């Protein structure tokens, strides 16, 4: 009797796995590597694998997640149309040659991502958490009208409390404060933790909140963006989240090396638009309506060319990845890449391999402190392959490297939230600043070269000496890398 029950259950599990595998292959039409990775999970972990798939494998329906009727009032559509036509008929006023050299990349972002080009920005670069948050606290304290804050991770630890106290003080002064956090990234955070702020008129929302405790069918789709907009005039974008570890106060990571930008200029308006779109998706009752206060006239601040580019599973195209590829393909002299997670897909690997074989100086920097072991060993396998093609790989030794940055030829660069992995390319909601400016890009390249002094080069000889156990870990991690 018991044997027949077990046989019946086993047969049911087998049929379920086969049915799901068929659905993966014929209905969802994923890429081959991702499909095979999920089939392996389903067949090697029969029951648990099905649960893992339900939580992490289901695709997000491509419906209109981000809607805002006020977007048309900003005039973005008309501006995009004007910029496209002016660039194509060569009448566009490129204030710097750095931008004009990259008009193909600019057109791609304009056409597919509605990322307007602005050329009047002042950009400050932060690589140290304390310096970044000191600047942010100063700007928050001087806010006059509104504060919009969006972080993937927001902890109410010492740093979080520093920020929260300032937000409470500003709310008491009548400044409208809104906080948006990702429910998965900030898993221990709840709206009730902000009850004082809410009582003062502030608003707090979670992106893709859990339906039940510990159960979130959309947890695989994370809003990884980090955006702050103050009075519609000052914007922040980059890699730092809010938490004590980002100040280097967690022993596990040590010093936290990241990159964040403070922007003044017209690119603050696209950042504001991105925040409002994300906010209105998360908010059921407190949507932001269009108001001139969110988009004030901004006096000329600088001359840096910028495009704010977003990507996510709601988009047909992998916008930021395509921007990365186009940037790399346009390099003539060098390509510097920093990323904590380096698990590129085949197209990215081919593009970098061709750059290496073409004699371009390709340098990649990764951390020596993994925060996700499978991800780290997969990273190790990919960089080993590129070393063989001629790339130089550096292991950052001065703490944890979390910056996401690409610089080419002292002319163009990109900084912000998207890692070089399938998760950032396809699953996460990300936002990057693409920079067309010689001075800023040169400064970012110099920061990379300073980091090289704090790094160990992983040569082919050293890579070949790795142990059999490391080789096994690499092979296993690479096998499932499409779903990491």
- Backbone torsions φ then ψ of 335, nearest 5 degrees: -135, 120
Q: Which residues are catalytic?
A: 224, 226, 231, 402, 404, 409
Closest C-alpha among 6, 299, 371, 367 to residue 153: 371
């Amino acid at each position: 009797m018991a044997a027949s029950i077990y046989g019946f259950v086993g047969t049911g599990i087998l049929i379920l796995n086969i049915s799901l595998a068929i659905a993966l292959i014929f209905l969802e039409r994923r890429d081959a590597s991702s499909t095979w990775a999920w089939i392996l999970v389903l067949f090697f972990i029969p029951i648990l694998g099905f649960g893992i798939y339900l939580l992490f494998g289901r695709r997000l329906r491509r419906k209109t997640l981000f809607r805002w009727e006020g977007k048309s009032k900003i005039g973005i559509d008309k501006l995009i149309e004007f910029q496209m036509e002016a660039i194509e008929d060569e009448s566009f006023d490129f204030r710097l040659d750095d931008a004009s050299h990259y008009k193909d990349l600019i057109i791609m972002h304009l056409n597919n991502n509605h990322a307007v080009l602005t050329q009047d920005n002042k950009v400050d670069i932060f690589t140290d958490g304390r310096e970044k948050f000191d600047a942010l606290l100063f700007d928050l304290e001087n806010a006059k009208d509104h504060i919009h804050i969006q972080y993937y991770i927001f902890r109410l630890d010492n740093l979080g409390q520093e920020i929260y106290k300032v937000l409470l003080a500003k709310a008491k002064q009548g400044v409208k404060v809104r906080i948006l956090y990702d429910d998965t990234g900030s898993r221990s955070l709840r709206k009730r933790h902000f009850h004082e702020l809410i009582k003062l008129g502030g608003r707090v929302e979670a992106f893709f909140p859990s339906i039940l405790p510990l159960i979130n069918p959309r947890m695989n789709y994370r809003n990884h963006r980090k955006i702050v907009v103050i009075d519609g005039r000052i914007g922040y974008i980059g890699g730092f989240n809010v938490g004590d570890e980002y100040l280097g106060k967690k022993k596990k990571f040590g010093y936290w090396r990241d990159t964040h930008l403070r922007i003044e200029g017209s690119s603050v308006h696209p950042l504001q638009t991105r925040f409002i779109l994300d906010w209105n998706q998360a908010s059921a009752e407190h949507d932001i309506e269009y108001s001139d206060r969110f988009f004030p006239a901004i006096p000329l601040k600088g001359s840096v060319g910028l495009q704010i580019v977003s990507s996510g599973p709601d988009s047909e195209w992998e916008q930021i990845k395509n921007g990365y590829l186009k940037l790399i393909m346009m390099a003539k002299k060098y390509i510097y890449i920093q990323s904590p997670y380096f698990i590129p897909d085949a197209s990215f690997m081919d593009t970098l391999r061709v750059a290496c074989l073409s004699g371009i100086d390709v340098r990649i920097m990764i951390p020596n402190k993994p925060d996700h072991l499978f991800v780290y060993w997969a990273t190790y396998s990919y960089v080993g392959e590129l070393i063989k093609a001629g790339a130089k790989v550096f292991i950052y030794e001065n703490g944890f490297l979390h910056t996401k940055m690409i610089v080419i030829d002292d002319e163009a660069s990109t900084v912000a939230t998207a890692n070089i992995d399938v998760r950032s390319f396809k699953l996460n909601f990300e936002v990057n600043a693409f920079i067309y400016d010689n001075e800023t890009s040169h400064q970012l390249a110099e920061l990379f070269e300073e980091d090289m002094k704090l790094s160990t080069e992983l040569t082919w000889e050293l890579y070949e000496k790795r142990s059999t156990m490391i080789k096994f870990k690499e092979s296993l991690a690479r096998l499932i890398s499409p779903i990491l």
